[in-house]
Amino acid sequence: MLADVPEARQGQVKVGQGCQATFFGLPNRRFAGKVLRIAPALSKERRSLRVLFTIDDLKDELRPGMFAEIGLGTDPREALLVPADGVLHVGRADYVLVGTEANTWQVADVQVGEPHNGDVEVLDGLKPVDRLIGKGAILFKPLIVRALLPAAPVAPAGRPMIARLIETAMRLRWLVLGLTVAVLAAGVYSFRQQPIDAYPDISSQMVQVITTFPGRAPEEVERQVTVPIEIAMRNVPKVEVVRSRTIFGLSVVQMIFEEGTDGYWARQRVQEKVAGLTLPVGAKADFGPLATAYGEVCRYELAGDGTFDQMELRTLNDWVVIPKLLRAAGWPTCPTSAASRSSSR
C-alpha cells in the first residue's frame, strides 16, 4: 500500500517501523503493518514523502483501491503516551512543561507521534519517569513563547510611547477633562445645527429642455425638435445620460449629470447649447424647474362654494395664488395641471 507522509514528519519514518491502518470502508477495524520502502526524494508538487507499507490482511477483507489512514508508531500499549492538552505547539515544534527535582518547571522539546484517544505518543524528548503539566499547560503558553523567543532590543527612549501618553494625561487631568467637555459640546452643537431632511433627495442632478411645437404630430416633433436637441446635448460636459420623450406638440429632453455637479452650472452649459440651435418656426424651447423628481412637495386643489365657476377659479389660481407661492423661499415653480388643481415643486 502506498501513502504520502508530510515533509514535517519524514524524520519519523524508518524502514521496518510498525504502523496501524484504519480503512474508510472498515472504520471499526485496525490492521497492523510495517514500512517496507521509502522514496529517495520528496514530491515537489505535494511536498510529501512517498512510502510503501505492507498491511496484514489475515481474513482477506481488503480490496484494491481502498483508502486508509495510517498511523506511524508503536502499539499504544507499548508507546509513551501523554495527555494531548499537555503538548503545546509553538511554531513548528512541540513542547511540554516537565517538573524538576527542585520543584520547578522547565520547557522540554519533544517529538510527538500519533494520537491515541485523547493522548498523544511521544517519540523523543521525554522519559517515562518525568512529571509534566496536563490540561493546565495551555495557560503557560505565553510564558513558553516568551522564554523561547530572543530578547528584544530596548528602545533608546527607554519607555513605550503609550506609557508616556498615559502618564502625561494623568498629570494634566484637568486639561484632558476640559478638552473632552469641549469636544462633547462641539459635537452636540454640530448635531443640532446639521440640516436633516426627513426625506432626503438622493436623485442625480437633472436639467430638462421642454419644447412646445403646437399642432404637430409626434413624428414631426421627433424629427425636427427632439433629435437636433439630443445631438447637441451629447458633448455637454459631465453629462452621463440623455433621455427624451415626444408627444403631440411637445418634446422633453432630459440630461442627467454626474454626482456633485452644481445645478446652476449644468443649466448654464445646457443653455449655451440650446442658444446655438436653429429650431423650426413655431417651436419654443424652455427649461424645466430647478428641481428633481423628489422635488414635488405638495398638491393642492382650489375649490369654491359655488359662487365661482371653473374659469374664475383658474384666473384666481394663476394671478393670485401662484404668485404668492412663488415668493416663498425654495419654491422654484408651481405648474397648473388642471382647471383648479396644481402641483407644487
Q: What is the CATH number of the domain that holds 133?
A: 2.40.420.20
Does residue 176 lie in a domain region? Answer: no
With a cut of 90, say whether residue 307 has pLDDT above it: no
Q: What is the pLDDT of residue 223?
A: 92
More confident residue, 201 or 52: 52
Instruction: Write down the pLDDT at residue 70.
Output: 77
Identify whether residues 271 and 307 lie together within a single domain.
no
- How would you label 248-263 residue by residue, b for 16+ Cβ within 10 Å and e otherwise? ebbbbbbbbbeeebee
Domain C-terminal end among 73, 97, 117: 73
Please choose, from the candidates 5, 93, 14, 13, the residue with its C-alpha nearest in 3D space to the C-alpha of residue 47. 5
Binning pLDDT at 50, 70 and 90, where does residue 152 land? very low
Whether residues 12 and 58 share a domain: the answer is yes
pLDDT for residue 95:
83
Is 226 within a domain? yes
Please check whether residue 133 lies inside any domain of the structure.
yes
> Which amino acid is present at 184?
L
Chain segment 47-100, per-residue pLDDT in tens: 778 888 888 888 888 888 888 877 765 555 556 777 888 788 777 678 888 877
Instruction: State whether 57 and 96 are in the same domain.
Output: no
Distances (CA, A) of 49 to 4, 44, 209, 271, 281: 5, 10, 77, 78, 91
End-to-end CA distance of the chain: 84
CATH at residue 263: 3.30.70.1430
pTM for this predicted structure: 0.36
All 3 cell numbers of residue 273? 447649447
Place of cell 436623485: 203
| DSSP-based helix, strand, coil % in the chain, nearest 5 | 30, 30, 40
My answer on whether 311 and 247 are in the same domain is no
Q: Looking at the domain assignment, is residue 40 inside a domain?
A: yes
pLDDT at 336: 64
Is the pLDDT at 190 greater than 80, yes or no?
yes
Once rounded to an integer, what is the mean pLDDT over residues 291-319?
81
Task: Give the pLDDT score at 49.
Answer: 80
Alpha helices in the chain (DSSP H): 141-148, 161-171, 173-193, 218-221, 227-233, 263-275, 310-316, 322-326
Neighbour-count burial of 200, counting CB atoms closer than 10 A to its CB (0-12 exposed, 13-18 middle, 19+ buried): exposed
pLDDT digit string, tens, across residues 248-289: 989 999 999 998 888 899 999 999 999 988 899 989 898 888
Residue % of the chain over a pLDDT of 70: 83
Sign of torsion, CA 296 298 212 287?
Answer: negative
For residue 158, name the pLDDT band (cuts at 50, 70, 90). low
Structural domain for 49, as ranges: 1-73
Q: What is the pLDDT of residue 202?
A: 73
What is the count of structural domains for the chain? 4
* pLDDT for the residue 295: 66
Q: Which three cell numbers stand for residue 76?
A: 499504544
Measure the CA–CA gap between 339 and 317, rounded to whole angstroms: 9
Identify the pLDDT of residue 133.
75
Q: Does residue 169 sit within a domain?
A: no
Which one of 260, 276, 293 terminates a domain? 293
- The yes-or-no verdict on residue 301 having pLDDT over 50 is yes
Cα 169 to chain centroid distance, Å, stands at 36
Between 341 and 177, name the one with better pLDDT.
177
Tell me whether residue 182 is in a domain. Answer: no
